[in-house]
Amino acid sequence: MDFREEKFNWLSEIYTKYRPSYATTSIEYVLEKIENSIQTIADIWAWTGKLSKAFLEKDLQVYAIEPHKEMLEQAKKELQSYPKCKPIQATAEDTTLEDTSIDLITIGQAFHRFNNAAFKNEAKRILKKEKYIAIFYNNWDKTSDLIQKIHELSKEYCPLYKGSSWWLENQEKIFKSFFKTYEKKVFPNNYSLTLDAFLWLNFSASYAPKKWDKNHEIYHEKLTTLFNQYSKKGILTMPNNTILRFGIL
């Protein structure tokens, strides 16, 4: 494998192939809470379209808002069979959407990248009377022995490592200040990986050592050993949850 320098422009294909989708039950939960009364969704920072696709499959209009050109191009490829998808290159703070045009805003794995105050103003502008927002995060199950061992390896060999989804740790106060009212739900969402996919998944992280770093080879070796220890017939099950925060502004 050639682990290239991490930039969004080359990560688009990696995200498509190796990052998990969101738990189907989490999508259904949101739609049930809104009583299926929505028609238009703005998926903010859509990445390569995994969350957009989940709602497009429910026959809803989805504006896939993505700031990075290559990520958006990959999303267009992934979502081209859905006529109700409208990909737009724009930011969370300036979506270019019309006033009061959106029934629901969705965010997958990206809320921590926003300017919260500016995004909140933009969300209030584009949302209709009921200002629904659903924030999704996939997060490895830290009670798992496998995840604990990945954590220990990353601490030892990745100087930039702060933890898997470290931003979510003890950050509920941010969500409390953002929402008028909201609820937090956790949905099991395990997924399966081959060795190649497992390595790409770990090396695509921002903290992972690059191929020219001194720890690159040993990190690669240790991850491979871990995969072989926990996999069955060449497939590894990653213990994972989709964490949903759903509420109104």
Domain boundaries, the chain: 8-248
Among 122-136, 155-169, 191-205, whose mean pLDDT is lowest? 155-169
Pairing of strands 102-108, 181-188: unpaired
Residues composing the chain: 249
Q: How confident is the model at residue 11 (pLDDT cuts 50, 70, 90)?
A: confident
* CATH architecture for residues 8-248: 3-Layer(aba) Sandwich (3.40)
| pLDDT 10s digits, 163-215 | 766 566 668 889 999 999 999 999 999 999 999 999 999 998 889 999 899 99
Q: Measuring CA to CA, how many Å separate 240 from each of 65, 192, 232? A: 26, 10, 18
pLDDT at residue 9 greater than cutoff 70: no
| pLDDT 10s digits, 27-44 | 999 999 998 789 999 999
Residue 10's nearest CA partner among 65, 51, 67, 69 is 69
pLDDT at residue 4 greater than cutoff 60: no
pLDDT at residue 10 greater than cutoff 60: no
Enumerate the H helices of 127-215 as residue ranges: 145-157, 172-178, 195-203
Phi, psi dihedrals of residue 84, rounded to the nearest 5°:
-90, 10
> What's this model's pTM, rounded to 2 decimal places?
0.92
Per cent of the chain over pLDDT 90 is: 83
pLDDT at residue 1 greater than cutoff 50: no
Strands (E), the chain: 40-44, 61-65, 85-88, 102-108, 127-140, 181-188, 191-193, 236-238, 240-248
